[in-house]
Structure 1
Amino acid sequence: MADLPWIKDTLVSLKLRDDLFSVAQFMDSPVLCCFRKSRQQPQWEGLELSREDVLFQVFVGSVVLEKLVHAVIPPSVAKPVPGLETQRRWIKPKLHFGGSYPFKGGDLVEVDFVNKIGSASAPVIKANLQPSDPLVGEHEFSSVWGADHLRDRLSHVFDTGADLDPLKAKIFP
């Protein structure tokens, strides 16, 4: 859906496949909150999103809106989760110039959307996270997700029940 304005708490229907749709809520721009809710058709009447589990929040680019957003879900059909806060802690991947992947490892940073402190200048909460650190599994990357990666991750969740971020294995080998 092209030219969709980013308005916090807007609910959108994401088309993952012809037979798989999910729902997400706009957080502070450009963070999208994805829920553990899917349907075979984009019919969201009666959805009580506040009863659904949050899967994750991710930074997204406009290509996600263009390629995955099927429709805006009006408040008369379903309401956003009240008081849902944008996560503040993110993993900022480190550039890596050796090997086949441009990132390796990362730091846990705290982003401040109110004061417009993005991940590039956010204070480091914990430097040099290790693959075995539980924080790696608890937090998302501050890098922007593309439509294909987000579609694949959400489809995997709804097909298998497991939420796996394939980039974490590449960045934290």
Structure 2
Amino acid sequence: MRKIILTLSFFLTINISFAFNLDDALEKLEDNAKVQMDKSLENNKGVSISLDSLAKDLKGEAVSKLDALEQRVNSKIDAYDEKITLEINNAANQIEAKIAELEEIKKRANKVITLVQIFLAILSFSTIALIYFIWRAYRKINRLYNMLDNVYSYKDLNARLTTLEKRS
């Protein structure tokens, strides 16, 4: 972007300098015409020179110089236009390449995010299942403990009964 701005400012500088050169050229032509008219009037006092023909000659010369200058300016403008267009196209191509690269990175990131979400879902399901199995195991262990407690209580009762029977 900086190159484009520098190129445009250079282009404007050249156009301004051409405009000043054009003004200078016109002033020089006017001065030359006055000098030539003065010389011709002094040298040929008796001969009348047609001012119209002199003006036409000077006008034709000025027009031809202006046309040449305009052609040079137009050719330089065209060259700068082509150069600026190429730089803009190169910058646009680079931007498009970066956008495509970022889109590819975005696709990969979305795949990774999806895989992480699946992993977290599996992990949460596994955690719920683990908690359920631990709860079932606790219930079974609690039942076994109660059964063992009942067995010991039964043995204890049985032992008491036998001691009572022996006493009686």
Does TM-score exceed 0.5, indicating one fold? no
Q: Which has the higher contact order (CA 8 A, sep 6+)?
A: 2
* Bigger strand share: 1
Q: TM-score, normalised by structure 2?
A: 0.16
TM-score (ref. length: structure 1): 0.16
